[in-house]
Each structure stands twice: as C-alpha cells, then as structure tokens.
C-alpha cells in the first residue's frame, strides 16, 4: 500500500528532476552576469551551489535557522530591520531557504517582498539567488571558484573569514559539474 509518507518521499525525487530542468532552462533567461575575463561557467556555478547547499535538492525542502539573525543574535542586535522582520515572521525571517539556501534577509534586502516561506519554492528562489550572486558576489569582484564560494558562504571574499572546507567542497562540485556539462551530461543526480 502506498502511504502518504511514500508520496511525500517520492516528491523529493521529482524536486531534483525539476531542479535540473530549472537550472538548464532558466539560467540564461535570468542572466547570471559573469565578469569579463574570467571563465566561470554560470550553469555549473548554480548546479554546484545546489549540490553544496542541499545535495542537489534532496534537502532543499529544509529551511535552516541562522542563530545570528534570531532574537539575541549578532545581526538581530545590530539591525533594526532584522528585528522588524523577526517581529513579522519570527524564526522564518532568520532562516535560509530552497535548494540554494538563500537567506530570507538577503533576499529582502534585494527587494523580495513575499513572506519568507515562499522562498521554499525553487522556482521563486532561483530569481533571488541569481540577483544575490550578481550583486553580492560577482559584481564585488569574485572571479575565481574559491572567491565565489567564500563570498556566498561568508558574505565576502575580501575579509579574513575563509571557510576552507566549504570552499574545497564547492570547488569539487563545480569541477564535476563543468566536466558533466562538457560531456553533454545532466548536472543532477
């Protein structure tokens, strides 16, 4: 007998197939702007980020609450905007969402005006991930895979906070995605 739980679990598989299609079909429409003179491959960046953050959508349905944005956290204490968003949405405002785990606060700062849980949907989150990467990562001078991963994980590649393990893992995902694309293979599982 197929249970409701079986149906829910099968949805995870569909989500990953959907993610593969989403990246392949929309990354050009939404134009991730790679700076001139660097050879970063946009589709591989987006796919590698999904591998890194959610095992390519397998855990994309999980939102993760960041303590620094919760009541009493560093960013909560330091920002009236973060406190106001917390007042509206509670811990949902302090969470990251989607297969790319974009922070709600980061999307809000870029103009996202829906409730945080709408970022659960990869189709909605994708546009804001692209905007975030353009404005906060690539246009800030990240021109290598290492800088890209550093900036996405720690906010900037220009400071002394260097998430070494994250960067190493991302670089491996990226190299694999580039190889798959060059071989004409899907970047998903």
Interface contacts to Ca ion, rule CB under 5 A: 150, 154, 159, 161
Give the position of tokens 């001078």: 141
Looking up tokens 């989403």, which residue turns up?
22
Residue 90 or 163: the one with the smaller Cβ distance to Ca ion is: 163
In angstroms, the CA 172 to CA 64 distance is: 23
Q: Which is nearer to Ca ion, 31 or 161 (CB)?
A: 161
Indicate the residue among 126 and 152 with the shorter CB distance to Ca ion: 152
CB of 160 to Ca ion, least distance (A): 7
Name residue, tokens 């960046």.
45
Between 14 and 158, whose beta carbon lies closer to Ca ion?
A: 158
Write down the least CB distance from residue 123 to Ca ion, Å.
29
| Cβ 54 to Ca ion shortest distance, Å | 21
Q: Which is nearer to Ca ion, 80 or 160 (CB)?
A: 160
Residue 130: in which H helix or E strand, if any? Answer: helix 122-132
Q: Tell me the closest approach of the beta carbon of residue 1 to Ca ion, in angstroms.
A: 51
Q: Which is nearer to Ca ion, 161 or 175 (CB)?
A: 161
Distance CA 99, CA 46 (A): 10
Tokens of 38: 């660097």
| Residue showing the smallest CB distance to Ca ion in the complex | 154
d(CA 42, CA 45): 5
**Strands (DSSP E) found in 18-129:** 64-65, 95-97, 102-103
CB of 125 to Ca ion, least distance (A): 23
Q: Minimum CB separation from Ca ion for residue 84, in Å?
A: 27
Beta carbons within 10 angstroms of residue 136's beta carbon: 17
**Alpha-carbon span 66 to 64, nearest angstrom:** 6
């Amino acid at each position: 007998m197929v249970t409701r739980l079986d149906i829910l679990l099968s949805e995870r598989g569909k989500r990953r197939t959907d993610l593969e299609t989403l990246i392949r079909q929309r990354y050009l429409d939404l134009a991730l702007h790679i700076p001139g003179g660097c050879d970063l491959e946009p589709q591989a960046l987006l796919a590698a980020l999904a591998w890194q953050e959610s095992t390519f959508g397998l855990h994309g349905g999980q939102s993760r609450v960041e303590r620094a944005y919760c009541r009493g956290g560093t960013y909560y204490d330091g920002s009236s905007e973060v406190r106001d968003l917390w007042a509206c949405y509670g811990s949902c405002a302090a969470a990251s969402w989607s297969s790319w785990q974009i922070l709600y606060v980061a999307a809000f700062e870029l103009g996202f005006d829906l409730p945080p849980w709408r970022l659960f949907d990869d189709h909605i989150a994708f546009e804001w991930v692209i905007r975030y990467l353009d404005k906060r990562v690539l246009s800030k001078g990240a021109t290598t895979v290492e800088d890209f991963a550093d900036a996405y994980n720690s906010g900037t590649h220009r400071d002394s906070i260097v998430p070494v393990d994250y960067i190493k893992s991302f670089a491996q995902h990226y190299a694999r995605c580039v190889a798959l694309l060059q071989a004409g293979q899907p970047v998903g599982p």
